[in-house]
Chains A and B, each alone.
Chain A
Amino acid sequence: MSAVTVRNERPSREMSGPVMGMVLFVASEAMFFAAFFGGYFTISGSAKVWPPPGIPDLEIGIPTLLTVILVTSSLVVQLSLRSIRRDDRRRAILFLGVTIALGIAFLLLQLYDYSQLGFGVKDGTFGTLFYVMTGIHMAHVFGGVVFLSLVFGQAMGGVLSSTNHDSLAAGAIYWDFVDVVWLLLFTTFYLLAPR
């Protein structure tokens, strides 16, 4: 009876290590945002009137556009992933570039939106929750843009292929997660907060 040699990797049909790591990271991030949403509903639930008086109405125009941008970018990053799985490197790079551009557009447009609002982070509970929660989300979008840009660099360098694209797959999971969080924020601040 001979010794079994050490084998490090399991068969490839299973989820790869980096992708599984990203799924777990996203689970952790989900709990991070859940704590803020818990804070939102604790504070709004204990207020007599919500949103509190003195806060100007939130315009829904730009945020709707932000939503369209981010949802589109989520679809585009999936197209990029599909392309690389078919070894279509040119399209993968193209779609990834579009995703990053949409992400940057989101960041710039949201900064512009901040500048148009008539209240600040120090303006009571609504200012607190609005700016901290959307601001932390914005930091995550920024992180996603940086991550996807690094993947873009890999793709340009010819590293990615149908058998080697864990970084793009992981980046796409993260990007979709950031999109879902935005949908929850949009629903909470623009659709549910009644006037």
Chain B
Amino acid sequence: MAVTEAPTTELAPEPERGRLLDWLKTTDHKKIGILYLINSFAFFAVGGVLALLMRTELARPGTQIFAPHAYNQLFTLHGTLMIFLVIFPLLAGFGNYFVPLQIGALDMAFPRINALSFWLLPVGGLTIVSGFLARGGAAAAGWTGYPPLSEQLGTGQDLWIAGLIIVGTASILGGINFIVTILRMRAPGMTMMRMPVFTWSILATSLLVILAAPVLTAGLIMVFADRQIGTVFFDPGRGGVVLLWQHVFWFFGHPEVYMLILGAWGIVTEIVSVFSGKPIFSYRGVILSFLLITALSFSVWAHHMFATGAVELPFFSVTTELISIPTGVLFFIWLGTMWKGKLRFEPPMLFALGFIAMFLIGGINGVWAASPAMDFAIHDTYWVVAHLHYVLFGGTIFGVMAGMYYWFPKMTGRMLSRKLGIWQFWLQLVGFNLTFFPMHMLGLRGMPRRIADYAPDRGWSFLNLMSSIGAFVIAIAMIVFFVNIFLTLRKPRSAPDDPWESNTLEWATSSPPPAHNFDALPPIRSDRPAYDLRMAAKEPQA
């Protein structure tokens, strides 16, 4: 019964500290996963500082620090970095580390392509950021880069296009790698319907990536050709169609939204189950919801274009609201999983609960925005900024933090401080709502997004000040997070293999796992192999 013993608590021997070169040339999916996380949090810090600069400018009416063109660069780079170089790569980083472990594989299907996918990210990101050094500054057409503005700006815009093409290529290669890994490298017994929900969420994300990301690449090439070789894709004066960009961009952009949240749903579903001490209320319901949302997400892009007057309003309104059905199913599954469970309010669970509450707000105001009548009133106001941050920060970043606290012991062999985690959670929750809830009201009062200044007599000043104070509270929460990581990494390895009494296969190996992932795989007879292992250990020896 060698493999069914209770998780060992003895300390794993400290391996030699990896030299820098090992990290630079590694093809180990676990090291690459950690590189993804480091890179993403580095860009998170950059994007966060940009956000603080914006909130500082907006704290009071009048132009204090940034002229409008400089401000445009701030919000363009903030949005671009947070979406393409922070949120998506954070989830991809977790995917890299945990998908092979969760399905009992040795590594990803194509380890060297995996390394390439990662290393293209900092290259693409720095290409975008290098725009600050160019004449005329960095890209300034917003993260959506609408022409004609994106065709008129300076070299920074070209660097933005080049960087995004690099990042897009990286994500397509990564997506192919995930799909082949999941379809072909599962351990014996790990059928599709026994795969952890997080692995399912990465599979759905990867499908979206390989089908949607190339469409953005095509659009970026069109803009680049218009700018550099004199084509007229988006020049209505010469027969082009300026709305073509919006169609192409949002055909990518709306599936992109689900690329940014599916992984967080996977993390939260798993954590809610573990910390309620119950199986997922409906495993099949989760999978079905993921797949329905994946399919539906390709039919909703024009809800970003209601105000153009050039799209079929009822069709795109109905398809958009249809998405709220599988999403609503997920909420009920999370509640059903917690119902009558033995809840443990450890930091991963706190962040997961924060996710559910904040994403509920973001989801419901998304349903409102799907109604054209409502959308005409709030289009391009701060209401939209509130909505997308409730989804991407209140949703995904809370989910990512839940994942960090949950998986940190597996990745490093060390438990993050519970006390600091609880501090971070409350600071983050309060700061987040202080920052973004007033934006709903600002939007309803007509404040447009993407402006550097506003008049003092519009009744926007107090809400903006609150929002700016909230942004700095979020910054404090993030400092607590980084301090927690820094302090924890200096401690000895003391985390047990399965500190949370979890369900999935990654907890059936040591913390951190050996280079080959598993010394011996336990038998896989359900979607909760680690749980089966614990139960078998409790039975009397036969």
Contacts and interface: CB of A to CB of B under 8 A. Distances in A.
Interface stretch (B119-127, B241-249, B475-483, B487-495): B241-249
A124 to B, nearest CB: 6
Interface in A93-152: 121-122, 124-125, 127-128, 131-132, 136
Contacts of B175: 24, 28
A61 interface: no
Contacts of B520: 3-6
Interface stretch (A39-47, A77-85, A173-181, A183-191): A39-47
Contact of A122 (B106, B183, B231): B231
B521 A6 contact: yes
B187 A28 contact: no
Contact of B248 (A5, A35, A127, A131): A35
B231 A132 contact: yes
A6 to B, nearest CB: 6
Contacts of A28: 172, 175-176, 210-211, 213-214
B219 interface: yes
B189 interface: yes
Interface string B246-280: 01100100000000000000000000000000000
B106 A6 contact: yes
B110 A4 contact: no
A7 interface: yes
B222 A39 contact: yes
A31 interface: yes
Nearest to B181: A17
B79 interface: no
Contacts of B219: 35
Interface string B199-212: 00000000000111
Interface in B179-233: 179-180, 183-185, 187-189, 210-215, 217-219, 221-222, 225, 229-233
B5 to A, nearest CB: 11
Given A28-B214, A32-B217, A122-B231, A17 B240 contact: no
A152 B298 CA distance: 40
A169 B522 CA distance: 36
B25 interface: no
Nearest to A36: B218
Interface string A4-15: 111111100011
- Which range contains the number of B residues in contact with the other chain? 35 or more
A52 B518 CA distance: 64
A42 B244 contact: yes
B211 A27 contact: yes
A156 B238 CA distance: 52
B247 A21 contact: no
Contacts of A29: 214
Size class of the contact patch on chain A: 35 or more
A25 B213 CA distance: 12
B105 interface: yes
A125 B239 contact: yes
A56 interface: no
Given A31-B211, A121-B231, A8 B180 contact: no
Contacts of A39: 218, 222, 233, 244, 248
Contacts, number: 133
Given A3-B2, A42-B247, A24 B179 contact: yes
A21 B117 CA distance: 14
A120 to B, nearest CB: 9
B238 A124 contact: yes
A177 to B, nearest CB: 13
A34 interface: yes
A1 B523 contact: yes
A8 B239 contact: no
A31 B214 contact: yes
B110 A5 contact: no
Contacts of A24: 175-176, 179-180, 210
B136 to A, nearest CB: 24
Contact of A21 (B1, B180, B221): B180
Nearest to A31: B214
A38 interface: yes
A128 B240 contact: yes
A20 interface: yes
Contact of A35 (B2, B214, B232, B517): B214
Given A5-B521, A43-B241, A121-B231, A136 B248 contact: no
Contacts of A128: 225, 231-233, 240
Nearest to B516: A6
A39 B219 CA distance: 9
Given A24-B180, A32-B218, A121-B230, A3 B110 contact: no
Contacts of B523: 1, 4
A5 B1 CA distance: 15
B534 to A, nearest CB: 16
Contact of A47 (B179, B212, B239): B239
Which interface residue of B1, B219, B240 has the most chain A CB atoms within 10 A?
B240
A13 to B, nearest CB: 12
Contacts of A125: 232, 238-240
A14 B185 CA distance: 12
B104 interface: yes
A127 B109 CA distance: 42
B3 interface: yes
B225 A46 contact: no
B188 to A, nearest CB: 6
Contacts of B110: 17, 21
B176 A1 contact: no
Nearest to A19: B180
Given A10-B184, A31-B212, A43-B239, 15 more contacts: A1-B4, A4-B187, A4-B189, A28-B172, A28-B176, A28-B213, A31-B211, A31-B214, A35-B219, A43-B244, A122-B229, A125-B239, A127-B231, A131-B231, A136-B221
Interface of A: 1-10, 14-15, 17, 20-21, 24-25, 27-29, 31-36, 38-39, 42-43, 46-47, 52, 121-122, 124-125, 127-128, 131-132, 136
13 contacts: A8-B106, A21-B176, A21-B180, A28-B172, A28-B176, A28-B210, A28-B211, A38-B244, A38-B248, A39-B218, A121-B230, A122-B229, A132-B222
Which 3 residue pairs of A and B lie closest in terms of their CB atoms, listed nearest first? A3-B520, A35-B218, A32-B214
